[in-house]
């Protein structure tokens, strides 16, 4: 026991001066014990030693400091079926500034610890293992045996290669002899074929010479026949041209007669149309003279109402069909709000001088268009099927409200601060306002009805203008792309139009309004107008026979009815209480999204909020297309509250 302790201490603290060398490794095992022996070349200067077992990898590693291995570094196969050592890998590694020779052994189940006892027997360093009955081996013998087997295998492979090379050489010589023989036979065959080809070529040349002589003879014969046929055809063509000339003269005479009849029919149609228009104008004048009800509003509109005062102006629009907020768009770049409801195909312009919010109204292709002042962005609200616009106003210099309402049967006017007048005429209404205050209406500009004749543009390369509304009618004019036409009426699939002094019909698929042209058609129209020396933008509308049908007329009366509007209050000082309001609209298409709220108990009181606006105990955090998110702070606690747009106002279910 003392001897083993001495060896261990010796190996641990020895100072290595010269590198030690392991000559061989042995595994000795009998019925009593098993041990591994590392045979050093000398008993002197034995190195430091350690051992380590890796249970997961089933590897035992032993290391010797500053040591060489006589058999060299590398991997050594021992016995893959062994329960002790299966293989070894010898390599060098640095550890804490000292170089170690490591022997890493893949082991079986019989070797499972790094607590193995060590001893020293002369130059043999022994690693005593627990267990017995293992197969003994010596690494140098295994190495020598494997080297011998490798040398033997290499010798056999060399002999096989030499044998294969000899066979390949013999086969190559045989193939070369056969190739030489084949080339000789091919040369002989080629010489024979050349003689035959020469004979065949001579024969073919003789036949070709004979064929060319025959073709020459046939060509001379055909040329003579063609000359005779050409002379005959020339005579027939001369005869045909004479007949065509005669027929053309006859057709020209008939065409001249037809054009004269068409011109006569066109003059007759124009006269009848002028007579009809004069009759319509006469009936219209008669109806006005007899006191017939002539609406001051646009067709399809029930009411225009304006309420101004106390820093606010409202405009209210009621149409025959109820208005839906989702069909209201704008203001666009031209400051136009479009109300998507059905209307007439033709419309005058309704100009409004009583107020600064809406300047004019007219029916367009997509609905009713309201022209606002440039840059104005009012609050837009739809309530009970009516459109309401609201903005600030500071021009009126007295308290109270001014109210007027235009309806098909007249104009109702009321001073909010005074009792309703039972009746008043229009002139007294205009003259009763102070001269220093803003003129709400003027005698000449209250409601100015101006004819709007929408011109049609030809969008096909060429079309016919007919005397009647069908393709079988007489063609009275030929039109080309870009020609302007005055739209007079729509008859089935045909527009009744005026082109210059002529009135006729064109297929509706061949023409289009300017605001309905595609981008490609608009560019082509600009080019055509440029070539013709015309201007596409700002051109004067073509004079029409419809001009006499329109005059500036105004009818009005008062009815003493109670004003449907109530005063719109501003924000309370402490802010809106969101528990007492409802979300009825979101203006999403503007640069700054805005939410429209109304009092739950009094829907006539409305508020407009933007992101960041303060409310009672909080502020508006976010506005989306369908929801408003509030941030509420009460009793030191912050919370978020979301208010969604109801389905009837355009929200999502």
pLDDT at residue 395, rounded to an integer? 67
| Of the candidates 464, 502, 500, the residue with the CA atom closest to the CA atom of residue 480 | 464
* Residue 270 shares a structural domain with residue 317: no
The answer to whether residue 538 sits within a structural domain is: yes
* Residue 257 shares a structural domain with residue 183: yes
DSSP single-letter state for residue 601? S
* Domain end call among 403, 421, 450: 450
The answer to whether residue 140 sits within a structural domain is: no
d(CA 112, CA 109): 6
Owner of token pair 């193995």: 116
Lowest mean pLDDT among 89-103, 427-441, 545-559: 545-559
DSSP single-letter state for residue 96? T
pLDDT at 338 over 60: yes
* Residue 385 shares a structural domain with residue 274: no
pLDDT at residue 252, rounded to an integer? 83
3-class DSSP assignment, residue 34: strand
Lowest mean pLDDT among 53-62, 139-148, 223-232, 435-444: 435-444
Give the CA distances from residue 165 to residues 162, 178, 519, 584, in Å, rounded to whole numbers and listed in that order. Answer: 5, 20, 83, 99
**What helix, strand, coil percent values describe the chain, rounded to 5?**
30, 35, 35
d(CA 1, CA 15): 24
Phi-psi region of 438 (alpha: psi -120 to 50; beta: other; left: phi over 0): beta
- Tokens at 619, concatenated: 């502020």
d(CA 395, CA 402): 12
pLDDT at 72 over 50: yes
pLDDT at 528 over 50: yes
pLDDT at 403 over 70: yes
| Of the candidates 303, 456, 329, the residue with the CA atom closest to the CA atom of residue 384 | 303
Over pLDDT 70: what percentage of the chain? 77
C-beta neighbour count of 568 within 10 angstroms: 16
Cα angle value 607/612/614 (rounded, 5°):
55
What does the pLDDT look like over 113-136, one tens digit per residue? 889 989 888 889 999 888 877 888
* Residue 360 shares a structural domain with residue 446: yes
* Residue 119 shares a structural domain with residue 19: yes
* Residue 435 shares a structural domain with residue 354: yes
pLDDT at 434 over 90: no
Lowest mean pLDDT among 100-104, 351-355, 472-476: 351-355
- Tokens at 360, concatenated: 């004019």
Lowest mean pLDDT among 227-231, 513-517, 647-651: 647-651
Q: What is the CATH number of the domain that holds 466?
A: 2.30.30.40
pLDDT at residue 312, rounded to an integer? 81
The answer to whether residue 572 sits within a structural domain is: no
* Residue 250 shares a structural domain with residue 169: yes
- In whole numbers, what is the pLDDT of the chain averaged over residues? 79
3-class DSSP assignment, residue 597: strand
* Residue 264 shares a structural domain with residue 279: yes
Give mean pLDDT, residues 140-169: 91
Length of the chain counted residue by residue: 653
* Domain end call among 274, 292, 310: 292
What does the pLDDT look like over 583-609, one tens digit per residue? 988 888 767 888 999 888 888 788 889
The answer to whether residue 553 sits within a structural domain is: no
* Residue 439 shares a structural domain with residue 459: no
Give mean pLDDT, residues 567-589: 71
Q: How many domains does the chain have?
A: 5
Domain extent, residue 231, equals 160-292
Q: Which pTM was predicted? A: 0.29
The answer to whether residue 565 sits within a structural domain is: no
pLDDT at 519 over 90: no
CB-based contact 357:391 (threshold 8 Å): yes
Highest mean pLDDT: which range of 315-319, 355-359, 542-546, 562-566: 315-319
The answer to whether residue 625 sits within a structural domain is: yes
* Residue 479 shares a structural domain with residue 536: yes
pLDDT at 427 over 80: no
pLDDT at residue 651, rounded to an integer? 53
**Going by C-beta distance under 8 Å and a sequence separation of 6 or more, which residues neighbour residue 330?**
336, 337, 338, 589
Between 294 and 479, the more confident residue is: 479
The answer to whether residue 210 sits within a structural domain is: yes
pLDDT at residue 334, rounded to an integer? 84
Q: pLDDT-based confidence at 374, cuts 50/70/90?
A: confident
pLDDT at 543 over 60: no
Give mean pLDDT, residues 517-534: 85
pLDDT at 31 over 70: yes
pLDDT at residue 329, rounded to an integer? 86
Lowest mean pLDDT among 290-294, 307-311, 478-482, 537-541: 537-541
Q: pLDDT-based confidence at 289, cuts 50/70/90?
A: low
pLDDT at residue 438, rounded to an integer? 35
pLDDT at 437 over 70: no
The answer to whether residue 40 sits within a structural domain is: yes
CB-based contact 25:37 (threshold 8 Å): yes
- Tokens at 199, concatenated: 């004979």
pLDDT at 267 over 50: yes
Pairing verdict, β 312-319 and 328-329: unpaired
pLDDT at residue 158, rounded to an integer? 93
pLDDT at residue 272, rounded to an integer? 80
* Domain end call among 450, 479, 504: 450
Lowest mean pLDDT among 68-82, 284-298, 460-474: 284-298
* Residue 288 shares a structural domain with residue 310: no
Q: Sheet harboring 410-415: ordered strands across?
A: 379-383, 386-392, 312-319, 301-309, 402-407, 410-415
Over pLDDT 90: what percentage of the chain? 29
What does the pLDDT look like over 170-222, one tens digit per residue? 999 999 999 999 999 999 999 999 999 999 999 999 999 999 999 999 999 99
Q: What is the CATH number of the domain that holds 119?
A: 2.60.40
* Residue 503 shares a structural domain with residue 627: no
pLDDT at residue 506, rounded to an integer? 94
pLDDT at residue 647, rounded to an integer? 67
Q: pLDDT-based confidence at 648, cuts 50/70/90?
A: low
pLDDT at residue 399, rounded to an integer? 62
């Amino acid at each position: 026991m003392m001897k083993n302790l001495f060896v261990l201490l010796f190996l641990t603290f020895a100072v290595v001066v010269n590198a030690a060398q392991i000559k061989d490794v042995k595994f000795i095992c009998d019925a009593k014990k098993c041990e591994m022996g590392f045979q050093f070349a000398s008993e002197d200067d034995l190195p430091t030693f350690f051992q380590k077992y890796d249970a997961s990898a089933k590897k035992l590693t032993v290391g010797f400091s500053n040591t060489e291995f006589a058999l060299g570094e590398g991997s050594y196969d021992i016995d893959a079926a062994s329960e002790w050592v299966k293989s070894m890998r010898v390599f060098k590694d640095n550890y804490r500034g000292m170089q170690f020779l490591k022997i890493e052994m893949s082991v079986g189940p019989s070797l499972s610890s790094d607590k193995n006892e060590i001893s020293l027997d002369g130059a043999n360093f022994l690693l005593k293992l627990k267990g017995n009955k293992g197969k003994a081996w010596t690494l140098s013998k295994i190495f020598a045996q494997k080297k011998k087997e490798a040398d033997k295998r290499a010798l056999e492979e060399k002999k096989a290669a030499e044998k294969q090379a000899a066979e390949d050489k013999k086969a190559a010589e045989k193939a070369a002899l056969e190739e030489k023989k084949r080339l000789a036979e091919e040369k002989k065959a080629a010489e024979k074929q050349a003689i035959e080809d020469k004979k065949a070529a001579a024969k073919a040349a003789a036949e070709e010479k004979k064929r060319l002589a025959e073709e020459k003879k046939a060509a001379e014969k055909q040329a003579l026949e063609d000359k005779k046929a050409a002379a005959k055809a020339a005579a027939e063509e001369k005869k045909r041209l004479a007949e065509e000339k005669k027929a053309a003269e006859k057709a020209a005479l008939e065409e001249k007669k037809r054009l004269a009849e068409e011109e006569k029919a066109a003059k007759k149609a124009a006269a009848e149309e002028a007579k009809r228009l004069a009759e319509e104008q006469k009936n219209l004048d008669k109806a006005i003279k007899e006191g017939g009800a002539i609406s001051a509003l646009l067709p399809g509109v029930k009411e225009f109402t304006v309420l101004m005062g106390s820093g606010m102006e409202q405009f209210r629009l009621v149409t025959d069909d109820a208005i839906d907020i989702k069909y209201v768009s704008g203001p666009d770049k031209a400051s136009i709000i479009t109300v998507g409801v059905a209307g007439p195909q033709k419309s005058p312009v309704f100009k409004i001088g009583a107020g600064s919010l809406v300047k004019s109204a007219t029916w367009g292709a997509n609905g009713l268009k309201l022209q606002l002042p440039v840059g104005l962005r009012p609050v837009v609200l739809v309530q009970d099927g009516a459109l309401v616009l609201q903005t600030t106003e500071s021009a009126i210099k007295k308290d109270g409200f001014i109210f007027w309402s235009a309806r098909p049967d007249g104009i109702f006017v009321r001073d909010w601060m005074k009792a309703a007048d039972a009746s008043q005429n229009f002139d007294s209404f205009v003259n009763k306002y102070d001269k220093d205050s803003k003129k709400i209406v003027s005698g000449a500009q209250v409601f100015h009805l101006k004819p709007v004749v929408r011109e049609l543009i030809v969008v096909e390369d060429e079309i016919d203008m007919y005397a009647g509304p069908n393709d079988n009618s007489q063609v009275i004019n030929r039109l080309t792309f870009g020609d302007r036409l005055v739209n007079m009426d729509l008859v089935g699939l045909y527009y009744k139009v005026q082109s210059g002094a002529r009135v006729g019909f064109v297929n509706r698929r061949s023409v289009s309004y300017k605001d309905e042209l595609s981008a490609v058609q608009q560019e082509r129209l600009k080019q055509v107008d440029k070539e013709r020396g015309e201007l596409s933008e700002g051109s004067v509308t073509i004079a029409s026979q419809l001009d006499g049908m329109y005059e500036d007329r105004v009818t009005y009366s008062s009815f003493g009815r109670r004003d449907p509007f109530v005063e719109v209050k501003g924000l309370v000082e402490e802010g809106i209480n969101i528990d007492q309001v409802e979300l009825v609209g979101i203006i999403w298409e503007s640069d700054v999204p805005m939410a429209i709220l109304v009092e739950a108990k009094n829907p006539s009181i409305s508020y407009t909020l933007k992101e960041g606006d303060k409310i009672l105990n909080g502020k508006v955090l976010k506005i989306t297309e369908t929801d408003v998110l509030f941030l509420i702070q009460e009793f030191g606690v912050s919370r978020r509250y979301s208010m969604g747009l109801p389905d009837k106002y355009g929200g999502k279910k």
